[in-house]
Amino acid sequence: MSKYLIAGNWKMNTDVNSAVELASGIMEQLKDKEGVEVLICPPFTNIYHVFDVVNNSTILVGAQNCYYEENGAFTGEISVGMIKSLGCDFIIIGHSERRAIFNETDELINKKAHSILNAGLKPIICIGETLDDRKAGKTNKILEAQLTKSLKSITDTQSKEIIIAYEPVWAIGTGVSAENKQIEEAHKFIRDFLVQKFPENGEYILIQYGGSVKPDNAKEILSIKNVNGALIGGASLRVDLFIPIINTAQSLV
């Protein structure tokens, strides 16, 4: 298994042309990267075109969301099977923007996780506390509740396929990442939870950090114990920022 999973969450950015341009730029500058897996998650509409660019490379392509039903009268939704048929292996679920703006609950995220696992794909399950939660000293309580509910009925065997992304909501898109000590404590808390819930595989589940990861803080963040990668928003939209983060991960392997 790779030591680091570096993922770009493009959010609702890029159209077909600029997505192709961004993916091409990443392709051109990506060096040999043993021990690091690189994943990019464009908007649905651009996934097919991005695959055209990164085909025959080691770059992985994923989606940013899905619906849990297989098909039917769910206007505007995209099923896991549809995403799988494009060739994606990963789907981000439970991003704080989806929780906050689209009212997604842990129960819904759990249904999506099962649907993804049943299809043989890997869910990147995002969790994280708000600033109010943190100030009130509730960080661990929130993380525990999100983990408990979103991982409901997932078996130890299935847990091999999941990735957890710890993203403190207050660090997303703000330019201010969490402090190293806060990251270390949260990742340790998550690791302990996973090991307890999944005695066989919990130790090996990748835990990414997300929230204002940039080239100048990537080294210290990726060096923290139990940080197995990064989920990157803003900096993943620029080749000159995304590539140095991947190279930093490579230098730490």
Answer whether 236's CB lies under 8 Å from 26's CB. no
Of these residues, 37, 104, 129, 167, which one is catalytic? Answer: 167
Q: Which residue is nearest to ligand PGA (CB)?
A: 233
Footprint on residues 35-64 left by ligand PGA (CB under 6 A): none
According to the binding rule CB under 6 A, does residue 202 interact with ligand PGA? Answer: no
Instruction: Give the x/- contact pattern for ligand PGA in 209-238, rule: CB under 6 A.
Output: -xxxx-----------------xxxxx---
Closest contact distance (angstroms) between CB of 30 and ligand PGA is 19
To the nearest 10 degrees (0 to 180), the angle between helices 16-29 and 239-252 is 40
Q: Which stretch binds ligand PGA (CB under 6 A): 114-122, 141-149, 187-195, 208-216?
A: 208-216
Closest contact distance (angstroms) between CB of 95 and ligand PGA is 6
User: Is 167 tagged catalytic?
Assistant: yes
**Rounded to whole angstroms, how far apart are CA atoms 22 and 242?**
10
User: Is 187 tagged catalytic?
Assistant: no
Footprint on residues 139-198 left by ligand PGA (CB under 6 A): 167, 172-173
Footprint on residues 9-38 left by ligand PGA (CB under 6 A): 9
Whose Cβ is closer to ligand PGA: residue 150's or residue 201's?
150
Whose Cβ is closer to ligand PGA: residue 122's or residue 202's?
122
Closest contact distance (angstroms) between CB of 230 and ligand PGA is 8
**Closest CA relative to residue 210, chosen from 119, 118, 96:** 96
Chain residues that interact with ligand PGA, rule: CB under 6 A? 9, 167, 172-173, 210-213, 231-235
Residues labelled as active-site residues:
95, 167
